[in-house]
Amino acid sequence: AVALGAAACGSDSDSGGTTAGGAKDGNYKLAFVQGVAGDAFYITMECGIKEEAAKEGATVTTQGAQKFDPTLQTPILQSVIASKPDAILIAPTDVSAMQQPIAQAKAQGIKIVLVDTTLNDPSVAVSAISSDNTAGGKAAFEAIQKLAPNGGKVLGVGVQPGISTTDARDKGFADAAKADSKFTYLGVQYSQNDPAKAASIVSAALQKDPDIVGIFASNLFSAQGSATGIRQAGKQGQVNVVGFDAGPEQIKALQDGTVQALIAQQPGDIGVQGVQQAIKALKGESNEANIQTGSTIITKDTIDSAEGKAAAYKA
């Protein structure tokens, strides 16, 4: 179950297929392995990757599994290794399970760049590029603090343990919530990246604790499902929902008032910088081991601003 990327990047850098290239310099072959296929976050990253690769005269292939799952990502990575790219940009789906498969790629002489997620030991990579996920989780709690100044119960809807990004967001949120005595942190429940599961987590939680004042959903599909759960419970506007990411469904939920704030990452920039680091490594230039990219909080008030529009993901 391998999906080839076919991102509609909305610029002339998109050749319409999975390969962007020209003739220049090293004519490097780059491969992008997404955390999961069909995710607006990785699709937007693919756009940044293709755009930058085209400038460098490099070619790109993009692949991702149907689920965010290391047992599915590993064989995809292995087939990518067999195709002998010069560099692989990869979002590992688990901090430990992907360690060895990625080390195997490095052992073949392939340069590794970690984009978005990382590993327990990121030293296999020439560079690791991601948002400040802990700060993002904290910012999500601060948004709920503003929306519900009297405090109350708050819940986390996470993805699955072992994903560096969402684990850091969940922890950033939990630590901030626990530090404010007005709030009661109800813990985090995992959606396995399935919107239907996130919806049922939210429905059940609202039945058990109808006085929940805030929900933090730590990625796109958890947030999408959480919004569905809120609608099913008829609680739009009564519970403050803050979601990570800014895919099209999430923007709609913000517009219709089901969700109050979104923390938009900059996946395109992660992709651009990922290519730059890969090319530097291939040319024997020095790398930046860790790069942190920015994020923007979007609310109903800023959604139509230039900043809000620029922050929305491409899908």
Rounded least distance, CB 24 to ligand T6T, Å:
31
Q: What is the dihedral of CA 88, 89, 95, 96, to 10 degrees?
A: 0
Counting contacts by CB under 6 A, is residue 190 touching ligand T6T? Answer: no
Counting contacts by CB under 6 A, is residue 167 touching ligand T6T? Answer: no
Phi/psi at 284 (5° precision):
80, 15
Counting contacts by CB under 6 A, is residue 118 touching ligand T6T? Answer: no
CB nearer ligand T6T, residue 101 or residue 195? 195
Counting contacts by CB under 6 A, is residue 244 touching ligand T6T? Answer: yes
Mask: binding to ligand T6T, 34-73, rule CB under 6 A, as x and -?
-x---x-xx-------------------------------
- Whole-number Cα distances in Å, 221 to 182, 227, 245, 315: 29, 10, 9, 14
Among 37, 129, 206, 220, interactor with ligand T6T by CB under 6 A: 220
SS3 248: helix
For residues 137-166, which are near ligand T6T according to CB under 6 A? Answer: 163, 165-166
Among 141, 173, 216, 221, interactor with ligand T6T by CB under 6 A: 221
Other C-beta atoms lying within 10 Å of the C-beta of residue 211 = 10
Residue 170: both structure tokens together = 């969940």
4 alpha carbon, distance to own chain's centre: 18
CB 39 within 8 A of CB 222: no
Give the interface segment with ligand T6T, choosing from 172-180, 215-223, 289-297, 298-306 (CB under 6 A). Answer: 215-223
Distance between CA 235 and CA 229 in Å, rounded? 9
The contact set with ligand T6T (CB under 6 A) reads 35, 39, 41-42, 116-117, 163, 165-166, 219-221, 244-245, 265
